[in-house]
Structure 1
Amino acid sequence: PNLDPETSINYEMGMRLQKNNLVLDATAFYTESKDYIHHQPCAAQDNCPGSRDRIYLNIGESRAYGVELYLTYLDGPWGLQPYTNLTWMKRRNEFEKFSTWDSGVPALAGRVGLRWEGALAAAPTIWTDIYLRGESSSDLKEPGTVRSVLDDKDSWVTANIATGMDLGRERQYQLALELLNLTDKSYIASTENLYGAERSVALKLTLNW
């Protein structure tokens, strides 16, 4: 579709606190957007292949605010590093005929984990990360479409394990193995229209040059 360029004004204020091995990063933000581009469910006149398909449209104005937090404890016992990365956020979408805080954005999303990092003779850096990732529930209210105007998504949490190592003289190779969604949780992320991956394994090789 023909879209007008989205314009926005962003305000951010952050701080970092560190005492011994405890580190806290906090950022507060506020955003005002005009001609906000949002992916909406297709209407009948859009001629989309399926009723669950979405199309990007200028919906009007949008306002969002929230806080991002990162908290970690460095160099814990046995090289363990607990951490959490959380975002609290609210967004208000202003359509032509109504405004709503039910914008499909979860109030709380993030990750909590325990990371270990060490070294072996063949690998200067080897690490393991055990973590939970998830979101709180979210509601999405939109103008009338070919499907329900209110779409609810339940809260969800997945359990995951990742491990990897750096290789090469200059640590230019990274090999990682990820075991994802260990409990085989059925969920839909707030930014997605399809179910998330079930219990799965991912192997990644990264080359830097």
Structure 2
Amino acid sequence: MLGIQHFDAFLLACIALNLTPGLDTFYILARSGREGRAVGMGAVLGINAGCVVHTLAAVLGISAILMTSVWAFSVLKYLGAAYLIWVGLRMLMTRQTARQPTETRGRGAAAAFRQGMLTNVLNPKVALFYLAFLPQFVDRHATHPQLGLLVLGLSFIGTGMTWSTVLALAGSHIHSLLQRRPRVGLWMDRVCGGVLLGFGVKLALQRQS
């Protein structure tokens, strides 16, 4: 009825994709290492909330607009790039002393959730990925192919949530080290900011495929 095909191969592909390092991996490790487990889990939930948005967009056909409309793709691309560059520059400009932890806007679990969700939702390549990847495992002649896409999308999110949680827990072990050595945290902010800035520039230069 749902038309799902080769579900075992789909799950294997999901695991392989989740294990491949990318912006999400780096962001979760950075937030959990810098601010602890709770903030890392905020980032995890935010990123996966963004994945829910992309899944629903793929099911409803909204993502197809990004594939056919150069204007819509460009608007979303530049919004996402600008946001990544803004977050990256703010981290690069962080100031910290040896006795005072970094204090910037955007700290805490709520901020990590918001930033994680926005970096995911505002990336048109993620939307196009969902639109191109999920339909390969659903028979378009099925009675309810949209429900099949929804099940596959939620399955992908489930595997991603599992791996993301592992990353957040691993990153939290760095947190105690950074509390004892504030200057290490300062340089971590610099590295994180530089990488986010690089991802933003890369996104801005990407072309619609």
TM-score category, normalised to shorter length: under 0.3
TM-score by length of 2: 0.20
TM-score by length of 1: 0.20
Larger Rg: 1
Larger relative contact order (CA 8 Å, sep ≥ 6): 2
